[in-house]
Amino acid sequence: MRLSRFVEFGRKIIGVGRNYKHHAAEMKSVVPDKPLLFLKPPTAFITEGNPIKVPRGCHELHHEVELGVIIGRKGKDISEIGAMDYVGGYTLCLDMTARDLQEEAKKNGLPWTVAKGFDTSCPVGSFLPKEQVADPHNLPLWCNVNGQMRQEGSTADMVFRIPTLISYISSYFTLEPGDVILTGTPAGVGPVQPGDIVEAGLGSLIRMSFKVQVEEKSM
């Protein structure tokens, strides 16, 4: 199956939170004892050429650069041993997060749905077939804003690695071709403003850039 236009499948986006210990620490959180999951709707996806829009009521929008794992086969209750067979490929993602709305939700014990899932909250890069990625657990990740480096990390530092994530996630959600798992962000997250340019990279494999804009009311 060709997944090169995976965005158009309109599948699930499953986010994993606090999967890098330095990011968990900068959020004054601890690494959870099992993967912390959230969902974004498919309307969160944008590709290069489209702007990131600051959602209404958000005054602190953060970038989070992450490796995206793209599912290539349908599966449920997948074992860790066989999990990599379900990977179709990889991409680079920005898990854009309305940090102020998330903090408010956390304080009140409420879900992160709006903070994580608003329109344009998941900018993605090109599709990399898995054959082009020798070791997904050894990829440099970086993100800069207006040319200033903000995040530099490596997928080597993930707490829960890809097979564990696929196995755990598929025990609750049937995984389908075109679903994307956001594997968590390394440290260095921070705010962006309208007019900023957010640039991110996955080693030498993907480089992408997005402009930040205010959300305008559609008719």
Of residues 78-137, which lie at the interface with ligand OAA (CB under 6 A)? 95, 97, 102
Strands 97-98 and 36-40: unpaired
Q: Which of 17, 68, 72, 75 binds ligand OAA (CB under 6 A)?
A: 17
Q: Which of 11, 61, 63, 64 binds ligand OAA (CB under 6 A)?
A: 64
DSSP 103-138: HHHHHTT---HHHHHSTT-EEB---EEGGG-S-TTS
Binding mask 79-108 for Mg ion (x = CB under 5 A): ----------------x-------------
Please give the Cα distance from 82 to 79 (Å, whole number): 5
Q: Is 185 an interacting residue with respect to Mg ion (CB under 5 A)?
A: yes
Of residues 119-158, which lie at the interface with Mg ion (CB under 5 A)? none
What single letter denotes the amino acid at residue 146?
N
Size of interface with ligand OAA, in residues (CB under 6 A): 12
- Please state the closest distance from residue 157 (CB atom) to Mg ion, in A: 14
How far are the Cα atoms of 80, 91, 149 from residue 88, in angstroms, in the given order? Answer: 16, 10, 30
Place of tokens 């992408």: 208
DSSP three-state, residue 147 = coil
- Please state the closest distance from residue 189 (CB atom) to ligand OAA, in A: 7
Place of tokens 């025990």: 171
- Specify the stretch interacting with Mg ion by CB under 5 A; choose among 45-53, 63-71, 134-142, 211-219: 63-71
Q: Is 27 an interacting residue with respect to ligand OAA (CB under 6 A)?
A: yes
> Would you say 170 and 75 are in contact if contact means Cβ atoms under 8 Å apart?
yes
State the residues that interact with ligand OAA by CB under 6 A.
15, 17-19, 23, 27, 64, 95, 97, 102, 184-185
State the residues that interact with Mg ion by CB under 5 A.
64, 95, 185
